Amino acid sequence: MNETVRNELLSKGDSKLADFAGKIVPKAGNMIGIRVPVLRDFAKKLAKEQGETALCGDDIYYEEKMLRGMVIGYLKTDIKRKMDLIKNFVPVIDNWAVCDSFCPTLKIKKNDLAVIWDFIQPYLNSDKEFYIRFGVIMLLDYYINDDYIDSTLEALKNVDTTAYYASMAAAWTMAECFIKYPDKTLPYITERVFDKATHNRTIQKLCDSYRVSAEDKEMLRKTKIY
């Protein structure tokens, strides 16, 4: 980001918040300490007033990287250009928070879902931890619906969940699939399509959810891998 943007971010910083955030977002780098809603408001302003010029410059701070992703999401542009910007941004994602704030901000429209589905396939089939997480969180945010649930479950089944943050994303997304489409998702759980850690994380997420009945939780616990 340019110096003007950086200075404004620095003026909003909270060292105590930076210390706290550093504990829940490990290896995120230099932190200023700014709450996500504040970053979102700033990103909307930059996208509206500066457009793509707001994306110029390098990022020194964690919040700059998060802001960059949000600006991409809020930019008013066609889907082809949006995909170019996404493609350039994904390689710099190196933590779960930047990934998970970026994906929902993209606000993919229904008539663009098919082209974005094809776009995310290389990420879902990658062996890079945060490429995979990006692809899986995109499934979570846009493809757990009547049109895509079958394809989403098959895509999840084939994701490499070796890396921790890929595994956590897959478990979260499978849990959401079960909550919304239990009949379609249950066979993937009972067949234990994930590795032990990811499968058990899925079960734990479901058992921790208030949206899952006590009866279903009891049934799901029986699928746990020991």
pLDDT tens by residue, 147-175: 999 999 999 999 999 999 999 999 999 99
Looking at residue 33, its pLDDT comes to 95
Q: How many Cα atoms within 13 Å fall on the side-chain side of residue 168?
A: 10
Q: What is the pTM of this model?
A: 0.95
DSSP annotation of 34 reads: -
Mean pLDDT of 169-198: 97
Identify the pLDDT of residue 3.
Answer: 86
- The mean pLDDT value of the chain amounts to 96
**Confidence category of residue 6, pLDDT binned at 50, 70, 90:** very high
- Whole-angstrom distance, CA of residue 7 vs CA of residue 13: 10
Q: State yes or no: pLDDT of 2 exceeds 90.
A: no
How distant, in Å, are the alpha carbons of 28, 138, 187 from that of 146?
Answer: 36, 16, 17
What percent of the chain is predicted at pLDDT more than 90?
92
The pLDDT of residue 130 is above 90 = yes
Instruction: State yes or no: pLDDT of 28 exceeds 90.
Output: no
**Contacts for 137 with CB less than 8 Å, ≥ 6 apart:** 99, 100, 103, 169, 173
Q: What average pLDDT does the segment 27-35 reach?
A: 90
| CA dist., res. 138 & res. 124, Å (int) | 10
